[in-house]
Structure 1
């Protein structure tokens, strides 16, 4: 995000049209819930890395009172900032821990964290305490979160939902110029990833995203159709071999072997919730399992290691697209 940092630093001299200041009280609709803000929040808690890094990229690190739910270490350019913010939990925090920070806003990356069956709490529980909750639109628009472990997509994920999150959070905090600059950078990254593959025929190329596994001896969690990871493949002209519309369904290796994807994309995580969160263990499995080791992608070394957060609906997705497009263009994963 270095280009954005430079852009943000020079906003006053950039020649960009100045976005209008936020007029309070601000009222917005968020995933079917009306939210109202009398002023810009001074204290926020994030449940999910995507929202955390969006706020950091908007220059709002000083407004964060606590973070939680991390898949990867924070982006390097935000490390100094992040070191000053309390991490309430590596995974899901308790309702009491979040409320104890006295936030004027709680952002949630996933509805299963803050929603009808929220692991942390329901939106109503927070709103009863006059704490507005902002759910990233990417996890509620065109998605049924009451079916499947991670929800089921009823419509194809739209990248515009990320731009919407950036714009709305920028409006809530009255930093709309920064939101416009960030979205411009993200859109440029997406265009560059697609341009790298211009003229390359990938119509016969397929791929599989392996996120994790509750145990290496059982079926893995892989990316389904219509979700964020599937969008990444479609954007680059590659077909997902998994047909389920669940966000991250479990599929057996025998079934995946029959599909025999051209590429395997495996998640690298810094969390250790499941054994297969460790990408090295994924690699060991792929090279030793009697079924998986016979996949063409494994035998040819067409395995891309990608940060788990780059498979989510946040600013890292655009870096993930760059990594994938480079590999697909060259025919080999980046070192």
Structure 2
């Protein structure tokens, strides 16, 4: 609201002049604050509540920013911390196979870890959350003992990242959109805008560097010996490979995760085999497994020893996935996008 202060035009005494001067200053401050407030609203920096948000088919209405959030995956945790929301977090869980980015470590260390894997309903409720945020659908499932409906029946808001929605193709735009959504829910829109600009700038820099180059055929190896677990064209990792100047050999397959045959991989003759680094088992052990697969012996990747790696923390839709695109480009096109020193 803008407050107007009437300033006297005639001064009858020194004391009145002084009062008018003070009033004038107050008017200037009020005008400046009102202008700043209007500007913030115009730029989308203030959330208007009540706010309706749809995530993966569930729409919820927020009357105010959540104050006690729990995150159930590392990507959700890092999204919150990227937006400076560590002080709104009362618990995290499910860091298995992933590392929190060094830029978030000090804030992360102040947040209670409810469980190494998915927390039980009792562990979750003990944190007294008003908002539970998962990066994948298994964060809200009957097997964990807390579905979205169960939590909502208790008055707890839930949010599922777009990547958690099944049967939908993923795009790199999913992450900027998610940053904006969480920013809006928590009324930290300026922080979200800053994070989106940083993310987009990193990805655009990579795309510009590799534009027009030959695109190596890439097979992403997750795990498996009898049949490899990998990603299809609907996976977030697949669009990361594309942005980094590669081509997923299964890009035309309408699936996210799945198993294929080694013969199918060999027929595609990948130039590079990209290995998910889960910390355990090690990348070295996975490379040894791949070298022992007879069907792959004559592929370019095996014959030339062309292996690339990416940590699970960077290969999933979190704010650091832009760094993941950079790391892939450094390995796919070291001449065009040399590794940072």
TM-score for the superposition, normalised by structure 2 = 0.80
Taking a change above 3 Å as real, the CA distance of residues 264 and 95 of structure 1, as seen in their structure-2 partners, is same
Match of 2:66 in 1: 41
Match of 1:150 in 2: none
Match of 1:211 in 2: 222
What displacement does 1:192 show?
Answer: 0.6
Match of 2:109 in 1: 83
8 Å CA contact 1:111–1:118 kept in 2: the answer is no
What displacement does 1:333 show?
Answer: 9.5
Distance 2:154 2:48 in 1: 24
Distance 2:145 2:107 in 1: 25
Task: Give the superposed CA RMSD.
Answer: 2.5
Aligned residues: 299
Taking a change above 3 Å as real, the CA distance of residues 118 and 333 of structure 1, as seen in their structure-2 partners, is farther
Match of 1:171 in 2: 184
The structure number with the bigger radius of gyration is 2
Unaligned 5+ runs, structure 2? 1-35
Q: What is the SS of the residue equivalent to 1:208?
A: strand
Taking a change above 3 Å as real, the CA distance of residues 334 and 187 of structure 1, as seen in their structure-2 partners, is closer
Taking a change above 3 Å as real, the CA distance of residues 179 and 120 of structure 1, as seen in their structure-2 partners, is farther
Distance 1:249 1:96 in 2: 33
1:260 aligns with 2:285: no
Distance 2:57 2:290 in 1: 43
Taking a change above 3 Å as real, the CA distance of residues 236 and 79 of structure 1, as seen in their structure-2 partners, is closer
| Most deviating of 313-322 and 50-59 | 313-322
Match of 1:56 in 2: 81
Match of 1:95 in 2: 121
Taking a change above 3 Å as real, the CA distance of residues 282 and 52 of structure 1, as seen in their structure-2 partners, is same
| Most deviating of 47-56 and 301-310 | 301-310
8 Å CA contact 2:211–2:245 kept in 1: the answer is no
8 Å CA contact 2:94–2:115 kept in 1: the answer is yes
| Most deviating of 125-134 and 57-66 | 57-66
Distance 2:147 2:160 in 1: 11
1:32 aligns with 2:43: no
1:313 aligns with 2:302: no
8 Å CA contact 2:93–2:114 kept in 1: the answer is yes
What displacement does 1:240 show?
Answer: 1.6
Distance 1:81 1:257 in 2: 45
Distance 1:190 1:212 in 2: 27
Taking a change above 3 Å as real, the CA distance of residues 334 and 260 of structure 1, as seen in their structure-2 partners, is farther
What displacement does 1:132 show?
Answer: 0.6
Taking a change above 3 Å as real, the CA distance of residues 193 and 266 of structure 1, as seen in their structure-2 partners, is same
TM-score for the superposition, normalised by structure 1 = 0.81
8 Å CA contact 1:304–1:333 kept in 2: the answer is no
Q: What is the SS of the residue equivalent to 1:330?
A: coil
What displacement does 1:326 show?
Answer: 2.0
8 Å CA contact 1:261–1:296 kept in 2: the answer is yes
8 Å CA contact 2:246–2:332 kept in 1: the answer is no
CA offsets, 1:32-57, max 9 Å, x none?
22212222211111111111001111
Unaligned 5+ runs, structure 1? 1-11, 145-152
8 Å CA contact 1:19–1:176 kept in 2: the answer is yes
Distance 1:86 1:221 in 2: 33
| Most deviating of 283-292 and 166-175 | 283-292
